[in-house]
């Protein structure tokens, strides 16, 4: 019985993000956890996932710098490059007339 084959590892790789999220169903959670115990390569993949996610989270600004919204608002008010593109108009709502109930 082989715990570690290509298709098992692939399945684990697919589940790793959710595994990290904690959004994995208990069944899959146990499966991934167990597999990670026996399969160092998958642990490596998991580690690299963590690193990527860590970097991405660091890149995302947690909060807007104070005054930024204010400055943007001023810029818009000045009409900077707002000439060509008008505001998006709402799509016309479908006016299907519903047949009256009999
Ligand atoms: Zn594996």
Percent pLDDT > 90 in the chain is 36
The CA 18 to ligand 1 mean position distance, Å, reads 16
Position 1 confidence tier, pLDDT thresholds 50, 70, 90: very low
Say if 79 falls within a structural domain.
no
pLDDT tens digits, residue range 59-96? 876 666 778 778 888 888 887 655 555 555 565 555 56
The CA 100 to ligand 1 mean position distance, Å, reads 61
Spatial distance between the Cα atoms of 68 and 73, rounded to a whole number of angstroms: 9
Say if 25 falls within a structural domain.
yes
Residues 6+ apart with CB under 8 A from 16: 32, 42, 45, 46, 49
Say if 27 falls within a structural domain.
yes
Say if 31 falls within a structural domain.
yes
The CA 10 to ligand 1 mean position distance, Å, reads 7
Say if 49 falls within a structural domain.
yes
- For 34, the domain range is 6-59
Say if 11 falls within a structural domain.
yes
Say if 84 falls within a structural domain.
no
The CA 36 to ligand 1 mean position distance, Å, reads 7
The CA 8 to ligand 1 mean position distance, Å, reads 6
The CA 35 to ligand 1 mean position distance, Å, reads 6
Residues 6+ apart with CB under 8 A from 28: 15, 18, 19
SS3 of residue 16 by DSSP = helix
For the chain, the domain total comes to 1
Say if 23 falls within a structural domain.
yes
pLDDT tens digits, residue range 20-40? 888 999 999 999 999 999 999
């Amino acid at each position: 019985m082989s715990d570690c084959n290509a298709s098992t590892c692939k399945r684990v790789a697919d589940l790793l993000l959710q595994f990290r999220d904690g959004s994995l169903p208990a069944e899959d959670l146990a499966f991934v956890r167990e597999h990670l115990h026996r399969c160092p390569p998958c642990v490596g993949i998991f580690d690299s996932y963590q690193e990527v996610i860590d970097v991405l989270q660091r890149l995302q600004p947690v909060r807007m710098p104070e005054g930024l919204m204010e400055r943007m608002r001023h810029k818009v008010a000045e009409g900077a490059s707002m000439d060509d593109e008008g505001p998006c108009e709402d799509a016309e709502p479908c006016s299907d007339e519903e047949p009256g109930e009999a």
